[in-house]
Amino acid sequence: MAISKEEAVALVNAFHETTMIKKGNAAEQGRFFLHPEPRIIITHGEDVSPQTNYEIHQKLTDEKHTPVRDWEVTPLCDSPERARIVGAVFWEGRLVDSADGATIKCCVGEDWIVQRVPSGELKIALYINTFHHFLPDSAPISFK
Burial of residue 93, with CB atoms counted within 10 A of its CB: 0-12 exposed, 13-18 middle, 19 or more buried: buried
Looking at domain 5-134, its CATH class is: alpha beta
CA atoms of 57 and 45, how far apart (whole Å): 17
| Residue pLDDT tens, the chain, 144 long | 689 999 999 999 999 999 999 999 999 999 999 999 999 999 988 899 999 999 999 999 999 999 998 999 999 999 999 999 999 999 999 999 887 889 999 999 999 999 999 999 999 999 999 999 999 999 998 877
Whether the CB-CB separation of 72 and 85 falls below 8 Å is answered with yes
